[in-house]
Amino acid sequence: MRNTPLSLKAAALLAVLGLSLTACGGNSASTAESSEPAASAEAGAPVEGGTFTFAEVTPINNWQTQAARFYEKANVLNSVLDRLTYFDTESGKLVGWIASEFTANKAQTEFTFTIRDGVTFSDGTALDAEAVKKNLDALGLGVESAQIQPNVDFSAYKSSEVVGANQVKVTLKRPDANFLRSTSSVTAGLVSPGTLELDNAGQTAISQIVGSGPFVFESEKPDEEVVFTSRDDYAWAPETAANQGDAYLEKLVVKYLPEVAHRAGAAQSGQVDLVRGLQPVDEEVLSAGGGQIFAAQGVDLTTNHAAIRIGSGKLAETKVRQALQVGIDRQALKDTVLSDSYVLAGSILNHQAPGFVDLSAELGYDPEKSKALLEEAGWSVGADGIREKDGKKLEITVASSNNSVVIKPAFELIEQQWREIGVQLVNRAADNSFLTNAMVDDQIEFFGTRQFAYGGLGPVYAPATNNQTLNADKELNELFTREQAATTEEEHLELIGEEQRALVLDKALTLVLWDEVQVYGANKDAHIDFTSGTAPIFQGAWKSNG
C-alpha cells in the first residue's frame, strides 16, 4: 500500500503527458495549415493522374450487386459498375447512362431501354442488349444457383426481352411507377454475363466482379485494402457528368479506418484523401486544420428515423405514437448532437427527394400536446414519473446499428426529452449485437435507421417481413399499390405525398429525425462530388497535387 502514491503519480504524469502531447499537436497543426485555406485549391482545371486514397469505415467481403444496400459497398461499387440510368441531383431528374433512352408505357408495366453503342465490360465482353437482359433477369428473379436473392426494388419484375438490335423491353407483373428510378441504384449495377455464371462466393468476391465502370479491380489485401486502376477507354459516363471521359485519377485505393478518432487526422495529414464517417466534433477540427468537409445529401434515402413496431402493445394506439412524434425537440437535437452538415427532417423523405412534402409545421416540439395525447390514451403518470396503463410502464426500447456516428447521442437526448412527458426510453442504439435479435423482434418498439427509397415507400414499408414495422398495414399497402400504378408523374408525386402524411402523421409509424447525410472529411487537395446515394464519384475526382 505504501507504494500507491508513487504509482498514482506516475499514472497521472503519463496521462497528462499523453493528453498534452495530443493537445499541442492539434494546435500546432491547425496553425500551420490555416495559412493555406482550402479554397485556394478550388481554382484551375482538373489535374490528371495520381492515386486517390479513400478510407471506408469497415472492411467489406460481400460485393454482390444486389447486396450493395450498404454504404461501404455502394461507395466503391459505384465506380466499378455502371447502371442503365442516373439520378442527377442538381436537376432532380433521371438521365441516361448505359441506356441512352428509356420509356415507360402509361400503365407503368412495360419499360423499354435503348442501350448505348460501344460499351464494353472490362473483360472485353460487349455491354449490349443481351447482357442487359441477363442482368435484369438476375436482379428481378435472383440467381438460384448462386443463392442470390432478387433485388427488393425489382419485386414487380416479370421478364425482359431483347427487341431490335439494341433495345430491351421489361415487363412487370404489376404497375410500378418507381421502376425506372430504381435502375439508377448501385444495387442495380450491371456486371459482365460471365460474373453472373459464378457461384455465390465468386459473385461476392471483388476480384471476380467484372463491370463496365471507370475503375477496374487490381489487387486486394483481405480486410485491409482494395486497389483499383482507372480504365483508359472509359467513355460512357452519365449524360450529365462533368467528366465524359476516363477518370482523372490513375489509381483508387480503398482502405479501412474502423477507429472513428483517427478519421479527421487521417484526412488532415494527407494519409487519406477522403474519409467517410466524420463525427460532428471532428468537423470543426478538420476544417480548422485546413481540411474540407463534404456533407453528401442522401437524396435516394429516407430520413433518419425510428420505425415503430407495435408488437409489445405499448405503442399500438395511434395517439401514443403521435405523442412521441411531437415529444421530440428536433431543434435541440441539431444544436447539441448534430452539426451544420445536418438538415432536420420535414418528412420521412428528405427535402430534395421527388415528391417530398414538408410536414415540419406539424412536427414542432409540443410537450403539452404529448402529455394530453398520452392522457387521452389512458397512460397516466406513476409514482416514479413514468406513465403506466393496466400495470404496464411506458418503457420502450430503441435498437440500431452503429453505422451512424450520431445515432447513439441523438437517442440519448431523446431519452431525456421523453422523460419530461413521462416516457422511459431504453437506449440500445449503436449496439450491434443487441440489434441482431431486435431487428426481427416486434417487441422492440423502435428500429433507428434509414433506408434506400427510390420514389415511393412501398418497398421499405409494405411487406409483412419489412424490417421497419415488421407488420403489413392494409391501408398503407393499398396506398402503395395505388401510388405504384400512378399513370402520370403528377399523380405519382401526389400519392408519394399521401404516403408520407400517412406514415409520419396519421399513422405515426415512424418518428422522423434528420435528413440522411454522409459527412466526409477530405484533404485540402481533394476535389470530389457525390451521387444522390451519397457515394463519392471517383470518375470525376482529382487532386490539386496530382
Partner 1 sequence: MGGYIAQRIGQALLVILLAYTAVFLAVQALPNDPVTIFLSADSSADPATIAQMKAYYGYDQPLIVQYFTQLGALLTGDLGYSLSSGSAVSTRIGEVIGSTLLLAGSAFALALVLAVALTAAASLSRRPRVRNALLNLPPLMISIPVFWLGLVLLQVLAVQLGVMSLFPDGSFLSLAVPILVLAIHLSAPIAQVLIKSVHEVNTQPFVDVLRAKGASEEWIFYRHTLKNAAPAALSIAGITIGTLLAGSVITETVFARAGLGQLVLQAVTVQDIPLVQGLVLLTAAAFTAVNLLVDLIHPKLDPRIITSHAGSPRALAA
Binding residues among 171-200 for partner 1 as defined by CB under 8 A: 199-200
Of 257, 306, 423, 425, the residue at the interface with partner 1 (CB under 8 A) is 257
Does 307 participate in binding partner 1 (rule CB under 8 A)? no
> By rule CB under 8 A, what string of x and - marks binding of each residue 372-411 to partner 1?
-----------------------------xx---------
The residues with which 400 forms a beta bridge, in sequence order, are: 448
Binding residues among 443-472 for partner 1 as defined by CB under 8 A: 451-452, 459-460, 462-463, 465-467
Closer residue to partner 1, CB minimum distance, 245 or 270: 270
If you write DSSP's letter for every residue of 232-254 in order, what string do you get? TT-----TT-S--SS-S-SEEEE
CB of 207 to partner 1, least distance (A): 12
CB of 334 to partner 1, least distance (A): 28
CB of 173 to partner 1, least distance (A): 14
CB of 511 to partner 1, least distance (A): 19
Spatial distance between the Cα atoms of 409 and 19, rounded to a whole number of angstroms: 24
Q: Which helix (H) or strand (E) holds 304?
A: strand 304-308
Does 204 participate in binding partner 1 (rule CB under 8 A)? yes
Angle at 22 between CA 20 and CA 26, to 5 degrees: 115
Does 281 participate in binding partner 1 (rule CB under 8 A)? no
Any idea what DSSP says for residue 148? B
Spatial distance between the Cα atoms of 151 and 167, rounded to a whole number of angstroms: 22
Does 361 participate in binding partner 1 (rule CB under 8 A)? no
Are 216 and 121 in contact, with CB atoms under 8 Å apart? no
Does 271 participate in binding partner 1 (rule CB under 8 A)? yes
Site of grid cell 405525398: 497
**Which distant-in-sequence residues (6+ apart) come within 8 Å of 79 by Cβ?**
213, 214, 215, 228, 247, 252, 535, 536, 537, 538, 539
**Which distant-in-sequence residues (6+ apart) come within 8 Å of 323 by Cβ?**
369, 370, 371, 373, 374, 377, 421
Are 99 and 181 in contact, with CB atoms under 8 Å apart? no
Which residue stretch of 76-84, 307-315, 387-395, 427-435 sits at the interface with partner 1 (rule: CB under 8 A)?
427-435
Task: Provide the 10 A C-beta neighbour count for residue 428.
Answer: 19
Of 41, 266, 307, 308, the residue at the interface with partner 1 (CB under 8 A) is 266
CB of 197 to partner 1, least distance (A): 15
Binding residues among 17-76 for partner 1 as defined by CB under 8 A: 18, 21-22, 25-26, 28-29, 58-59, 61-62, 64, 67, 69-70
Residues in contact with partner 1, counted by CB under 8 A, come to a total of 72
Are 84 and 113 in contact, with CB atoms under 8 Å apart? yes
Closer residue to partner 1, CB minimum distance, 256 or 365: 256
- Name the phi and psi angles at 318, rounded to 5: -55, -40
Which residue stretch of 259-267, 308-316, 317-325, 522-530 sits at the interface with partner 1 (rule: CB under 8 A)?
259-267
Binding residues among 206-225 for partner 1 as defined by CB under 8 A: 221-225
Spatial distance between the Cα atoms of 371 and 394, rounded to a whole number of angstroms: 13
CB of 135 to partner 1, least distance (A): 18
CB of 286 to partner 1, least distance (A): 11
Closer residue to partner 1, CB minimum distance, 159 or 200: 200
Are 249 and 52 in contact, with CB atoms under 8 Å apart? yes
Binding residues among 127-146 for partner 1 as defined by CB under 8 A: 142, 144
